[in-house]
Amino acid sequence: MSAPPVVPDRASPSVPALRDLPLRAARERRRVPRAVRRTLVVVALLVLWQVLAEIGVLTPDTLSSPLDTIRTAGDMFASGDLDTALLTSLQRAATGLALGVPVGLVLALASGLLRLGEDVIDSPMQMLRTLPFLGITPLLILWFGIGDTPKIALVFLGVCFPVYVNTLVGIRNVDARLVEAARTFGAGRWSVIRSVVLPGALPNILVGLRLALGIAWLALVVGEQISSDGGIGSLMLQAQDNLRTDRIVVCLVIYALLGLISDLVVRVLERVLLTWRQGLEAS
């Protein structure tokens, strides 16, 4: 039997200062005023804008007032100008997205899942990605002339890359230990892709989709201002020629709304597809 180890005397404990952690009750008091505060700022800015217009600081040929803009929007709807342009733009955006998103996805899958795919696809994609795609516009006009095609091509190019890059990041970040586990339980290659890789990459794919939607509108703004053949962009081009700032502002608001709606769509998609992430109970 060896001697028991020497136990040192206990030092007297140092007394730490305590602090409050902000828990629910404390936070809630501030939440409501915050939402109100944000809305108030927006409303105040609009009012300021209107006032500046009323007192003549902002003349209509600089920037139309909010009220004028609303009036103009009503006129444009009534005359059917806006509907037609909106429809044209929507169609172009949808076509570009419908082509660009799947292509970006497929390329990313091929490059993320196959060694050969990575070697063949990734470096050209990374090279092209550094090219500012809007700079290709002159080439697209030379190739496709005017009309729908160059606009759709521009949307396609703008959409393809964010989807590709984000999907690839998602695939690369899939937890290898989950793949290992799936293999253990008898999953073949395809089953691993379907039940582990794709769901694991989904959050990033949706990020790519959100970026893609934003870029789709941007590409359209630029593409449609090339020539006057329909769409919100060419409506703006005409308004510019006629010095109609009110019409320009209406078009800008439409773009903003389209962006907002696309964002909302992706948010809803995220809510539905990624319930597991927040641990929300989908009942």
Partner 1 sequence: MTSLLPGTDQVPETTSPPLAVDARDIRRRFGEREILRGVDLQVRPGEFLALLGASGSGKTTLLKILGGLDREAQGQVRVPARVSIAFQEPRLLPWQRAWRNVAFGLRGPDVRARATEALREVGLAHLADQWPKTLSGGEAQRVALARALVRDPDLLLLDEPLAALDALTRLRMQRLIADLCARRGLTAILVTHDVDEAVTLADRAVVLREGALAHEIPVDLARPRDPSGPAFGTHRDQLLSWLGVQDPTTDLPEEKTP
Helix runs in 225-244, H state only: 232-241
Which lies closer to partner 1 via its Cβ, residue 109 or residue 215? 109
Cβ of residue 71: shortest distance to partner 1, in angstroms? 50
Please say whether the beta carbons of 178 and 132 come within 8 A: no
Residues lying near partner 1 in the complex (CB under 8 A) are found at 1-2, 4-5, 177-178, 180-187, 191, 195-196, 199-200, 202, 275-277, 279
Which lies closer to partner 1 via its Cβ, residue 90 or residue 179? 179
Which lies closer to partner 1 via its Cβ, residue 31 or residue 194? 194
Cβ of residue 181: shortest distance to partner 1, in angstroms? 4
Cβ of residue 31: shortest distance to partner 1, in angstroms? 24
Cβ of residue 282: shortest distance to partner 1, in angstroms? 9
Cβ of residue 138: shortest distance to partner 1, in angstroms? 45
Please say whether the beta carbons of 179 and 191 come within 8 A: no
Burial class of 8 by CB neighbour count within 10 A (0 to 12, 13 to 18, 19+): exposed
Which lies closer to partner 1 via its Cβ, residue 62 or residue 191? 191
Please say whether the beta carbons of 187 and 195 come within 8 A: yes
Element (H, E) at 253: helix 245-273
Please say whether the beta carbons of 162 and 212 come within 8 A: yes
Which lies closer to partner 1 via its Cβ, residue 199 or residue 259? 199
Which lies closer to partner 1 via its Cβ, residue 65 or residue 166? 166
Angle at 31 between CA 26 and CA 37, to 5 degrees: 140
Angle at 158 between CA 155 and CA 159, to 5 degrees: 85
Cβ of residue 196: shortest distance to partner 1, in angstroms? 7
Which lies closer to partner 1 via its Cβ, residue 86 or residue 201? 201
Cβ of residue 177: shortest distance to partner 1, in angstroms? 5
Amino acid type, 143: W
Which lies closer to partner 1 via its Cβ, residue 8 or residue 186? 186
CA dist 200 → 32, 104, 116, 239, 261 (Å)? 36, 17, 22, 47, 26
Give pairs for 86-94: CB < 8 Å, separation 24+.
86/232, 86/254, 88/230, 88/231, 89/220, 89/224, 89/230, 89/231, 89/232, 89/233, 91/148, 92/148, 92/151, 92/152, 92/155, 92/220, 92/223, 92/224, 92/231, 93/155, 93/216, 93/217, 93/220, 93/258
Cβ of residue 233: shortest distance to partner 1, in angstroms? 40
